[in-house]
Amino acid sequence: MSRTPCTAPVPFAALLDYWLGDLDAAREEAIERHLFGCGECCADLERIAELAGGIRALLRRGEIAAAVTPAFVEALRDSGLRLREYGVPCNGSVHCTVAPDDDLLVARLQAPLAGVERLDLVTFEPGEEAPQRLTDIPFSAATGEVVLVPRVDRIRALGESTATMRLVAVEGGGERVLGEYRFLHTP
């Protein structure tokens, strides 16, 4: 059973849905019965579990930058991580740093997001000649803020410097700057 090739492999999408609890009970049980008898599909699921664990580990070490949500920040805090948060008003600036015992940094950019369909983030990083544009970042208009978790390992390597972020709403054929944010960093 386990050493013969699987004749009815569970599709990758179904394994992913199973892992994250997106299947109904009957489908979930059918997949579990198959997995208990199939080393091949089990190895595929192991790969998903391993990637999931890797993403968690990198995030906890501050090695992933991502746009997240206020609720997710609370989940990070509830999981025991030490967070340093900076809320920046629209077109404002903030003095910021990262302490040795900080696990993650959180930047909360306040912006008039009502009616915005697509949001881009343009960053001007210290030492970078050209700005970087991140397209279609996720946001929740209801909260009126964009929540970013930057890479802490990169920020720890910075000397005294200033980084600038610009939020741009993309609509119709054009775009509109919603706000600009300056981070005045000291080590």
Partner 1 sequence: MEVLSYARRVQRRRDDPTEGDDDAALARRIAAAHPGIDGAAEAALCRRLAPRVRLYGLRHLRDAHAAADLMQQVLMMTLERLRSGAIRDPEQIVSFVFGTSRQLVVHLRRGLARRDRLLQTYADDVPAVDPSHAPALDHARLRDCLERLAERDRSVLVLSFYEERPARSVGDELGLTEANVRVIRHRALQRLRDCVEAGAR
Residues found near partner 1 in the complex (CB under 8 A): 1-4, 12-13, 16-22, 32-33, 35-37, 39, 42-43, 45-59, 63-69, 71-72, 75-76, 79, 121, 134-141
Residue closer to partner 1 (CB basis): 66 or 93: 66
Q: What is the DSSP string of the chain?
A: --SSPPSSPPPHHHHHHHHTT-S-HHHHHHHHHHHHT-HHHHHHHHHHHHHHHHHHHHHHTT---EEE-HHHHHHHHHTT--EEEEEE-TT-EEEE---TT--EEEEEEE---TT--EEEEEEE-TT-SS-EEE-S---BGGGTEEEEE--HHHHHT--SEEEEEEEEEEETTEEEEEEEEEEEE--
Nearest approach in angstroms of CB 160 to partner 1 is 26
Compute the least distance from the CB of residue 61 to partner 1, in Å. Answer: 9
Closer by beta carbon to partner 1, 95 or else 118: 118
Comparison of 16 and 90: residue with beta carbon closer to partner 1: 16
Shortest separation between residue 90's beta carbon and partner 1, angstroms: 20
Using the minimum distance from each CB to partner 1, give the nearer residue, 43 or 177.
Answer: 43
